[in-house]
Amino acid sequence: MAAPLWPRANESGGWPEQGGAGPGARRLATALLFLAAVALPCLVLYRAVAPGGVLVQPAARLPWLQAGAPPHDDDDVDLESESEDVRLERVLRAAAMANDTVILTTLNSAWAEPGSMVDVFLESFRLGEHTRELLDHLVIVSLDLAAHRRCKQIHPHCLAVATEGVDFSGQKNFMTDGYLRMMWRRIDFLRQVLEKGYSFIFTDTDIVWLRSPLPRLYAEGDFQIACDHFTGDPDDVLGNAPNGGFAYARANTETVELYRYWYAARERHPGLHDQDVLNLIKADRYLAEVGVRIRFLSTEFFGGLCEPSRNLSAVCTMHANCCVGLRRKIADLTLILHDWRSFMSLRGPDKRSAASWSVPRNCSLDKVEE
């Protein structure tokens, strides 16, 4: 029988004397225990003192590690020690569902500030039906360091994606050069996710999730996308007006080629953003030859301010599209969450059927952010 790793206590509850040791050995052992008891606190105190003689506080008490405060530079160690590809694989693996699907959103510092867009976005997951658990599968892709630091304070799955020579940190007004660069960087990144074998649901951060959209995705369709205008036919490639703010892509060779073709098409259509370019290429013969099946999601379930869902008993997401200006977006999305709370408090089918949105109120394409 193998000997135990630690000696067993004797019947009196003490440890057995080894080798017939007598009182002298016991006195020596007592003295050694006393010295250890004195030395250990001194060692701990020594290690807690910085080279300059300043006592280092426990991490939980450091002011820059509190919620809402700038994090310590140690938060950026993973950015320096790992390549972007390694970080991508690690974060996707940690967040993936059983079928290797992840939920992705992108964030820059303008939308990451406390009380800004990302807080409204995450709050919707906590309020929605069967959406809270989806947070476990959400990856926030930060386009600048400040957004990455804020993400790490509020969410477990964060990925920093940099673009050399481009600053994505400030607010990017619609159709400015910075906005276009940010949109196209997103398309290229999503292709990389597909190439790694992960399917994804992409969502803009200015979308609130009110119900799980998973049951409303089509069983058939490689690429499924929300609409600014939906004709009623999910296969109407020419008539439906896609909106890139919400899309599902199944990881396969067809969708990888779709995203590669889409990204390359920016050079044939300079000055246009990704959504307009998709609208121009969606019926191209080449995509038919590739075999990718594109389907369009109904605005009844995937609504927005362009074409709001009128059915609060069925709506899954609401998008602050057809809206210019960060503050206006936040204001109307906050109203949507207020309407949603009121709707959920109603009892009886008749009351619920009469519920409606109080938006758009602040949003309009002819308004410019002050």
- Best CA proximity match to 245, nearest among 194, 173, 294, 187: 187
- Best CA proximity match to 66, nearest among 158, 5, 153: 153
Residue 355: inside a domain: no
Residue 21: inside a domain: no
Residue 149: inside a domain: yes
In this prediction, residue 63 carries a pLDDT of 27
- Best CA proximity match to 119, nearest among 150, 162, 79: 150
- 3-state SS of the chain: helix, strand, coil percent to 5? 45, 15, 45
**267 neighbors 251 (Cβ within 8 angstroms):** no
The range of the structural domain enclosing residue 90 comes to 84-301
- Taking only the tens place, the pLDDT of each residue in 229-247 is 999 999 999 999 999 999 9
Residue 69: inside a domain: no
Instruction: Report the run of H or E that residue 34 belongs to, with start and end.
Output: helix 23-47
Q: Residues 189, 231, 252, 220: is their CA dihedral positive or negative?
A: positive
CA distances from 235 to 242, 285, 306 (A): 12, 16, 20
| pLDDT surpasses 50 at 226 | yes
Rounded to whole angstroms, the Cα distance separating 295 from 221 reads: 6
Mean pLDDT of the chain: 80
| pLDDT surpasses 50 at 109 | yes
Rounded to whole angstroms, the Cα distance separating 148 from 159 reads: 7
**Range with the lowest mean pLDDT among 51-55, 225-229, 339-343?**
51-55
**309 neighbors 300 (Cβ within 8 angstroms):** yes
Grade residue 354 by pLDDT with cuts at 50, 70 and 90: confident
Range list of β-strands (E), 64-123: 101-107
Grade residue 106 by pLDDT with cuts at 50, 70 and 90: very high
Which of the pair, 178 or 330, is modelled with greater confidence? Answer: 330
In this prediction, residue 277 carries a pLDDT of 96
- Taking only the tens place, the pLDDT of each residue in 122-174 is 999 999 999 999 999 999 999 889 999 999 999 999 999 875 544 444 444 44
CATH number of the domain where residue 175 is located: 3.90.550
**Structural domains in the chain (count):** 1
Q: What is the mean pLDDT of residues 170-186?
A: 65
Residue 26: inside a domain: no
Residue 66: inside a domain: no
| 37 contacts: CB under 8 Å, gap ≥ 6 | none
**Range with the lowest mean pLDDT among 182-191, 249-258, 333-342?**
182-191
Specify the DSSP class assigned to residue 164.
T
- Coil, strand or helix: which one is 227? strand
Q: What is the mean pLDDT of residues 92-119?
A: 96
- pLDDT above 70 covers what percent of the chain? 71
* pTM, to two decimals: 0.76
Beta bridge partners of 319: 207, 304
| pLDDT surpasses 80 at 296 | yes
Residue 74: inside a domain: no
Kindly give the residue spans of alpha helices, DSSP state H, lying in the chain: 23-47, 77-81, 84-95, 109-112, 117-127, 145-154, 177-195, 253-264, 274-281, 285-290, 326-345, 349-353
Rounded to whole angstroms, the Cα distance separating 109 from 140 reads: 12
334: burial class by Cβ within 10 Å (0-12, 13-18, 19+)? middle
Residue 219: inside a domain: yes
